[in-house]
């Protein structure tokens, strides 16, 4: 292959690296109204009165909206294909506020200072309710977070809102109780994961204006332009045809920008005033008033026989979705979907539990999407089981993990198409020095070093639901335009998709212009989430390129007055296989758009996959712990990845490194704390510590390629799977170092130190 | 109030409020590479040079820049491009939102330190956060750029 598999630089790399004005804020109209939001100081309250009269008189204030001024149609901000499985439980503004930071009024003024001044002049009187803050006490709490009767679910997701249950879920194959009795050993443990912040560097922002035909144009830093258009149409009660969503460059997303946090507020201001508007969340708003990862409690019970074969996997979960149910049921189901198939020598498996509403900031999509939480709980318990069986944790995995060509209880007879996970484990052992260094080494009197490991799987796109389209146009000059609706969040997906098109068309990647994404221009794509872009949009691009190539050959043959079978196309020239006749692509392109009876060539394809082939990763951590303080230093992290064919090794490597470091943050540093009245306390980078350069030790990355028959050039996904192993692997290493099993994230020195004193779990 | 500053070697008169920060002023005057990421001096996105020293412009009151020399990435595009080429070749820019502040710090480090060790490089850049890349690729690019092991 000429282009696929090569470490090509990103096509927008130089622009974004050198600070060119390519992001949402840079592109906003100079005279845009500045939109600010007055937010609730209370976790749960009803607005008894709201007085905006003084604020409205302030010079420069253009519009102030309260719950009285907005449509009453409930919607969901979850970036999912219609009909969304997330409940329609939101209004643009509501009389009831459900978390500290919930929106109370929208203020638009000529500048920020005026908007903030006006905000301070709005008088609100609240009737306070008893908030539901502890998610373990949400079910059956005296307060009901969503007592209104117009909440709507497109499917039965098990909502019992009078009990604060958004969704219930159960997967069970085999008889757990019977099979567990047959096991020689049973281990059980409960884990807690935190409501991590995405902490992308570009906070949430959108701008809007009316175009020359009066249509509403939204420029937004979003992963889901088409879903934004649909949500706006519903929330604002205007036809989707009156809305255009443009996605410029995005300053990071990680799933956060799969939920439409901000677009509705500028859009309604532009509709009400006719003027352009911009909203930019500051860091505190981004931390407190958007979405987080779903915090969960996961209890895992494993049963095994004395040979080390795992027979029963039983996971009981509780997930905290906060005040609104974005992605509540789907994130939760992914906990089971990405854990139960991993160990397939089982006779019974179960995943069951509830997602609950609380009066805290909403949770939503976040890289890993439930698999991360599940991997921490399951893999930690596998390590516990290995210890109880006195087995090497890598050996118990090699015995029990699903292999290529095998099935598992929850796959219902479907065979796993591709996996090199066993090789990933072997390679990882080599790179970390497992034989020499496992489990622990004493460095000096106070310091020990130890190793731990974990494995995980994810998916590639959402099987049977998310479907992407792609178009490739042969331009009049012989170059190509690739039109896609997916979102490059910085991952390099635009580049990778261009590589695929270039490979099929046998042209240099420089000959392709990539246009993404603009809902007026791009073909439909659900957006970039669920690790789908390389796999799902990639297949659409491959097939569109094949379609165009076929048309080029046909048109070339027609030009040469022979049949298609008699010519070949090498990316530059269409030539007769036998004979002298040929036509250069530029000439053909020109010919196709000049004169009468012509047709410009466009390749098209739409692709949705019936399967979601899992990428795999094996992660190995080495930590050093100071026994006097509990201080943990991560020395080394080894990640070996099976993402099928690596389309661009350079960009894939950075994806792995970035995901691992985000996982390290979750494992060791990112602590989420709420005050006793429900206010998020960790709302700046001073309190919420994401890893800096000194925190991460050395990260080593290797690939063990497999070939996924259903994927483009054999590729699977990579974006999410990479975040899942650090938490369980580091927890394992910490246990091997000092014998403390930390079961709630993050693994802080305090927990380790206190654990060493008391030898109890945290 | 009016201040007079030299921005990227050009003398400019700027109208600023007493409580206005330099990052906002520079953006107002069209220098769009300057970005804010945190409001608490934690992330380094807003780094520009004042009199050749890397400075967080999100917490520098604009009037304090009066009479001083301000350099942004637009003013050192040749050097910035040279390093960016290496960074991009390494695949170590992802979303790119932190890049201008990061690159300004890297270029300042090059001017300030001679043959730095890996530890010194990491220490110098600790205030520049990046949520995408995991820092390893950036470090590889810096070492290539500086020609150090």
Nearby residues of A486 by Cβ (< 8 Å), 6 or more positions away? A468, A493, A497, A516, A517, A525, A527, A528, A532, A533, A537
Q: What is the mean pLDDT of chain B?
A: 97
Interval B20-65: pLDDT, tens: 999 999 999 999 999 999 999 999 999 999 999 999 999 999 999 9
Find the mean pLDDT for residues A388-404: 98
Which chain B residues are within 8 Å of A489, Cβ to Cβ? 94-95
So what's the ipTM on this one? Answer: 0.98
Check A654 against B38: CB less than 8 A apart. no
Which chain A residues are within 8 Å of B133, Cβ to Cβ? 654, 657-658
Which chain A residues are within 8 Å of B93, Cβ to Cβ? 10, 13, 16-17, 490
Find the mean pLDDT for residues A232-248: 98
Backbone angles phi, psi at B33, to 5 degrees: -75, -20
Q: What is the pLDDT of residue A759?
A: 67
Nearest to B99 among A19, A200, A684 (CB): A19
- Inform me whether the C-beta atom of residue A54 falls under 8 Å from chain B C-beta atoms: no
pLDDT higher than 90, residue A412: no
- Taking the CA of residue B68 and the nearest CA in chain A, the distance in Å comes to 22
Residue of B nearest to A659 (CA): B134
**Segment (H or E) for A119:** helix A112-120
pLDDT higher than 90, residue A758: no
- Inform me whether the C-beta atom of residue B75 falls under 8 Å from chain A C-beta atoms: no
Which chain A residues are within 8 Å of B80, Cβ to Cβ? 18-19
Residue of B nearest to A695 (CA): B126
* Sign of the torsion angle spanned by Cα atoms A56, A60, A62, A63: negative
**pTM (global) more than 0.95:** yes
Find the mean pLDDT for residues A295-307: 98
Q: What is the pLDDT of residue B149?
A: 72
- Taking the CA of residue B4 and the nearest CA in chain A, the distance in Å comes to 23
**Segment (H or E) for A319:** strand A310-322
pLDDT higher than 90, residue A452: yes
Find the mean pLDDT for residues A723-750: 98
Check A18 against B126: CB less than 8 A apart. no
Contact A574, A585 (CB under 8 A): yes
Interval B73-127: pLDDT, tens: 999 999 999 999 999 999 999 999 999 999 999 999 999 999 999 999 999 999 9
Q: What is the pLDDT of residue A760?
A: 55
Contact A471, A523 (CB under 8 A): yes
Query: pLDDT grade, residue A761 (50/70/90)?
Result: low
Which chain A residues are within 8 Å of B100, Cβ to Cβ? 18-19
Nearest to A18 among B73, B91, B125 (CB): B73
Contact A751, A630 (CB under 8 A): yes
- Inform me whether the C-beta atom of residue A694 falls under 8 Å from chain B C-beta atoms: yes
User: Which B-chain residues 110-129 have CB contacts (< 8 A) with chain A?
Assistant: 122-123, 125-129
If we measure between CA atoms, which residue out of A91, A105, A109, A117 comes closest to residue A37? Answer: A105
- Inform me whether the C-beta atom of residue A252 falls under 8 Å from chain B C-beta atoms: yes
Find the mean pLDDT for residues A462-480: 97
- Taking the CA of residue B66 and the nearest CA in chain A, the distance in Å comes to 23
Query: pLDDT grade, residue A138 (50/70/90)?
Result: very high
The DSSP bridge partners found for residue A452 are A621
Q: Can you list the alpha helix ranges (DSSP code H) found in A614-673?
A: 649-664
Tell me B62's DSSP state. G
- Inform me whether the C-beta atom of residue A569 falls under 8 Å from chain B C-beta atoms: no
% of chain B beyond a pLDDT of 70? 100
Q: What is the pLDDT of residue A679?
A: 98
Query: How far is the C-alpha of B128 from the C-alpha of A693, rounded, in Å?
Result: 8
Residue of A nearest to B129 (CA): A692
Find the mean pLDDT for residues A242-246: 98
- Inform me whether the C-beta atom of residue A662 falls under 8 Å from chain B C-beta atoms: yes
């Amino acid at each position: 292959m000429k282009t696929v598999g090569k470490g090509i630089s990103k096509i927008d790399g130089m622009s974004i690296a050198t600070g060119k004005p390519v992001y949402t804020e840079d592109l906003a109209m100079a005279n845009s109204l500045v939109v600010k939001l007055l937010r609730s100081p209370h976790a749960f309250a009803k607005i008894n009165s709201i007085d905006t009269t003084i604020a409205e008189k302030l010079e420069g204030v253009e519009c102030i909206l309260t719950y009285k001024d907005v449509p009453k149609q409930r919607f969901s901000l979850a970036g999912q294909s219609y009909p969304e499985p997330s409940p329609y439980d939101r209004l643009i503004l509501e009389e009831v506020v459900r978390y500290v930071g919930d929106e109370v009024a929208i203020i638009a003024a000529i500048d920020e200072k005026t908007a903030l001044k006006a905000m301070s002049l709005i008088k609100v009187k609240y009737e306070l309710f008893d908030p539901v803050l502890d998610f373990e006490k949400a079910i059956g709490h005296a307060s009901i977070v969503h007592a209104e009767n117009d909440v709507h679910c497109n499917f039965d997701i098990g909502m019992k809102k009078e009990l604060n249950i958004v969704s219930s879920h159960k997967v069970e194959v085999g008889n757990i109780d019977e099979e567990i009795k047959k096991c020689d050993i049973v281990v059980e443990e409960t884990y807690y994961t935190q409501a991590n912040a995405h902490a992308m560097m570009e906070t949430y922002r959108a701008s809007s204006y009316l175009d020359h035909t009066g249509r509403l144009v939204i420029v937004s830093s979003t992963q889901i332009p088409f879903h934004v258009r649909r949500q706006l149409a519903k929330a604002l009660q205007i036809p989707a045809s009156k809305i255009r969503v443009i996605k410029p460059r995005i300053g990071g997303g990680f799933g956060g920008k799969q939920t439409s946090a901000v677009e509705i507020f500028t859009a309604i201001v532009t509709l009400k005033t006719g003027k352009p508007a911009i909203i930019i969340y500051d860091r505190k708003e981004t931390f407190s008033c958007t979405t987080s990862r779903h915090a969960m409690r996961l209890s895992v019970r494993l049963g095994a026989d004395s040979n080390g074969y795992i027979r029963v996997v039983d996971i009981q979960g509780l997930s905290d979705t906060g005040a609104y149910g974005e992605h509540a049921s789907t994130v939760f189901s992914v906990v089971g979907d990405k854990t139960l198939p991993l160990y397939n020598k089982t006779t019974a498996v179960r995943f069951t539990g509830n997602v609950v509403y609380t009066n805290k900031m909403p949770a939503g999509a976040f890289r890993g999407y439930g698999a991360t939480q599940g991997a921490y709980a399951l893999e930690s318990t596998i390590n516990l089981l290995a210890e109880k069986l006195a087995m090497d944790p890598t050996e118990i995995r090699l015995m029990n993990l699903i292999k290529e060509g095998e099935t598992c209880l929850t796959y219902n007879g479907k065979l796993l198409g591709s996996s090199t996970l066993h090789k990933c484990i072997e390679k990882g052992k080599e790179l970390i020095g497992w034989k020499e260094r496992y489990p622990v080494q004493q460095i000096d009197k106070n310091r020990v070093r130890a190793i731990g490991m974990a494995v995980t799987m994810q998916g590639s796109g959402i099987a049977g639901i998310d479907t992407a389209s792609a178009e490739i146009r042969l331009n009049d000059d012989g170059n190509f335009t690739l039109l896609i609706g997916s979102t490059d969040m910085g991952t390099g997906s635009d580049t990778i998709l261009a590589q695929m098109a270039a490979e099929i068309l046998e042209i240099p990647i420089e000959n392709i212009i990539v246009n993404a994404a603009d809902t007026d221009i791009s073909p439909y794509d659900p957006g970039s989430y669920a690790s789908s872009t390389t796999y799902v949009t990639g297949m659409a691009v491959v097939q569109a390129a094949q379609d165009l190539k076929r048309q080029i050959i046909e048109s070339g043959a027609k030009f040469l007055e022979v049949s298609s079978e008699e010519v070949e196309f090498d990316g530059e020239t269409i030539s007769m296989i036998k004979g002298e006749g040929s036509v250069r692509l530029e000439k053909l392109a020109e010919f196709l758009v000049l004169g009468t009876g012509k047709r410009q060539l466009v390749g098209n394809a739409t692709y949705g996959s019936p399967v979601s082939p899992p990428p795999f990763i094996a992660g190995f951590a080495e930590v050093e712990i100071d026994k006097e303080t509990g201080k943990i230093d991560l020395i080394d992290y080894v990640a070996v990845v099976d993402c099928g064919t690596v389309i661009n090794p350079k960009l894939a490597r950075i994806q792995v490194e970035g995901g691992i470091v985000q996982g390290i943050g979750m494992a060791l540093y990112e602590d989420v704390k709420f005050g006793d009245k429900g206010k998020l306390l960790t709302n700046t980078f001073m309190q919420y510590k994401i890893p800096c350069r000194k925190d991460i030790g050395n990260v080593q990355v290797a690939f063990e390629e497999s070939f996924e028959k259903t994927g483009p050039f054999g590729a699977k996904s990579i974006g999410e799977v990479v975040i899942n192993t650090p938490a369980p692997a580091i927890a394992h290493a910490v246990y091997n170092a000092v014998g403390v099993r930390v079961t709630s994230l993050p693994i802080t020195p305090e927990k380790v130190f206190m654990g060493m004193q008391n030898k109890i779990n945290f | 109030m009016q201040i007079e500053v030299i921005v990227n070697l050009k003398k400019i008169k700027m109208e600023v409020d007493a409580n206005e920060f330099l990052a906002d002023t520079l953006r107002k005057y069209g220098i769009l590479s300057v970005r804010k990421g945190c409001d608490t001096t934690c992330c380094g996105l807003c780094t520009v040079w004042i009199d050749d020293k890397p400075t967080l412009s999100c917490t520098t009151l604009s009037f304090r820049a009066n009479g001083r020399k301000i350099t942004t990435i637009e003013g050192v595009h040749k050097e910035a491009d040279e390093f960016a080429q290496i960074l991009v070749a390494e695949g170590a820019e992802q979303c790119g939102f932190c890049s201008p502040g990061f690159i300004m710090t890297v270029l300042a480090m090059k001017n300030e330190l001679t043959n730095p060790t890996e530890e010194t490089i990491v220490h110098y850049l600790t205030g520049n956060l990046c949520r995408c890349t995991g820092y390893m690729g950036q470090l590889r690019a810096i070492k290539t750029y500086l020609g150090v092991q």
